[in-house]
């Protein structure tokens, strides 16, 4: 195996991993390290903890560049009238006409990604920190952020503008210009409307993911109290100032849904328009995940640069049940995942896919630069 001869702290590898941590080799070669990192990634992922993204063991240890997921379509039998005659039934022949359930295939694309870091010898003696905890915590947060970016790119392609679910599973309440009002914000009315895009499947929705600027509006509303000028049926109800109506400003639930707050959720709009925040209403288990191989950490010694190099490689699939990766290519970039033409709907009844996009404004938002 060849050894990288350059210094990771010089161009074109100007980013160093050396100033505030210990030896990467000692950390990465520790047997529990990869297991700790994998566990912490799961523990810190709000999408996984909410149940929206669920591990599917059938997606582990598979081969190939995409995975085929056969499924049965919803079965809706046609009733037949039974009578004591030779002509009953839809075939008018005195017996049942056999009906069939249909099946089709949906494809999920697999991605393998990673990055490399390095540490020099001096950092080991110049720091007195618990480097294992330091590195493990930083890597888990970084990988979670990268995974969330991939997930939001995928949702943009599937349910965003021109996506296969855009016409059925999306509600737009955001204004692009002009004066904003409550009807443009994340209100109970707008969430209810979005849920019922799924019809009777609205009850499948358990979680809503929002941008922090949208969460700030929810927090503000939660802290408001109301008062009335007269305790009478016709008395005017007005919002009061200074009162706190909740004992915790962090909004854990809204409109009966668990709330995920993530800054990587899309913000739409062109220059000069109001920021338009994309929220996702999702059901438990709508996104399945798995990996072909466990998270891989490898190290090597670069003696000429007095550095230890570490490479982190991870592989996974994130698949929205009821959709299919229809592109002829695999191993997509985030830009490819966000491209609507690369996706299709596998379910003929799209309301069976418990994801709804809701686009709103926020009084805490600004204009698009």
Per-domain boundaries in the chain: 24-75+104-360
Residues 6 or more apart whose Cβ sits within 8 Å of residue 289: 48, 53, 54, 55, 56, 59, 316, 317, 318, 319
Whole-prediction pTM? 0.80
Distance of alpha carbon 269 from alpha carbon 161, whole angstroms: 12
- Tell me what pLDDT residue 161 has: 95
Tokens of 265: 């959720």
- Is 309:116 a contact under the CB 8 Å cutoff? yes
Helix axes 131-159, 33-44, angle to 10 degrees: 50
Give how far Cα 365 sits from Cα of 215, 218, 260, 310, Å: 11, 13, 18, 40
- Tell me what pLDDT residue 21 has: 39
Q: For tokens 């990465």, name the residue.
A: 28
Distance of alpha carbon 3 from alpha carbon 201, whole angstroms: 56
Residues 6 or more apart whose Cβ sits within 8 Å of residue 343: 157, 158, 163, 164, 323, 324, 325, 326
Categorise residue 22: left if φ over 0, alpha if ψ from -120 to 50, beta otherwise.
beta
- Tell me what pLDDT residue 233 has: 59
The span from the first CA to the last CA of the chain, in angstroms, equals 48
Stretches where the chain sits below pLDDT 70 are: 1-33, 36, 43, 103, 119-137, 223-251
Residues 6 or more apart whose Cβ sits within 8 Å of residue 335: 153
CATH architecture designation of domain 24-75+104-360: Alpha-Beta Complex (3.90)
């Amino acid at each position: 195996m060849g050894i990288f001869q350059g210094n990771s702290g010089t161009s074109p590898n100007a980013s160093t991993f050396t100033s505030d941590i210990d030896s990467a080799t000692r950390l990465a070669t520790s047997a529990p390290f990869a297991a700790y990192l994998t566990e912490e990634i799961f523990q810190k992922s709000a999408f996984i903890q909410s149940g929206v993204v669920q591990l599917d063991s059938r997606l582990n240890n598979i081969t190939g560049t995409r995975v085929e997921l056969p499924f049965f379509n919803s079965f809706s039998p046609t009733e037949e009238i039974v009578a004591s005659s030779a002509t009953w039934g839809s075939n008018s022949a005195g017996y049942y006409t056999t009906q069939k359930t249909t099946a089709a295939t949906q494809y999920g694309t697999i991605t393998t990604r990673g990055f490399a870091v390095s540490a020099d010898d001096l950092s080991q003696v110049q720091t007195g920190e618990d480097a294992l905890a330091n590195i493990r915590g930083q890597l888990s947060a970084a990988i979670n952020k990268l995974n969330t970016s991939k997930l939001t790119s995928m949702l943009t392609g599937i349910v965003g503008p021109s996506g296969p679910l855009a016409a059925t599973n999306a509600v737009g309440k955001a204004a692009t210009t002009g004066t904003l009002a409550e009807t443009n914000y994340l209100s109970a009315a707008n969430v209810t409307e979005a849920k019922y895009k799924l019809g009777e499947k609205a009850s499948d929705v358990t979680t809503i993911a929002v941008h922090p600027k949208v969460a700030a509006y929810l927090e503000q509303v939660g802290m408001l109290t109301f008062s009335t000028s007269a305790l009478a049926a016709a008395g005017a109800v007005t919002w009061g100032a200074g009162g706190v109506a909740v004992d915790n400003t962090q909004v854990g639930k809204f409109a009966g849904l668990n709330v995920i707050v993530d800054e990587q959720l899309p913000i739409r709009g062109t220059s000069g328009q109001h920021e338009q925040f994309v929220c996702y209403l999702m059901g438990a288990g709508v996104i399945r995940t798995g990996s072909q191989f466990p998270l891989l950490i490898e190290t090597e010694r670069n003696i000429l640069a007095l550095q230890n190099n570490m490479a982190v490689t991870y592989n996974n699939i994130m698949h929205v049940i009821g959709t299919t990766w229809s592109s002829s290519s695999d191993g997509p970039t985030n830009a490819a995942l966000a491209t609507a033409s690369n996706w299709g709907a596998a379910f003929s009844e799209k309301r069976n896919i418990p994801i709804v996009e809701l686009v709103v404004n926020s009084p805490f938002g600004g204009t698009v630069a």
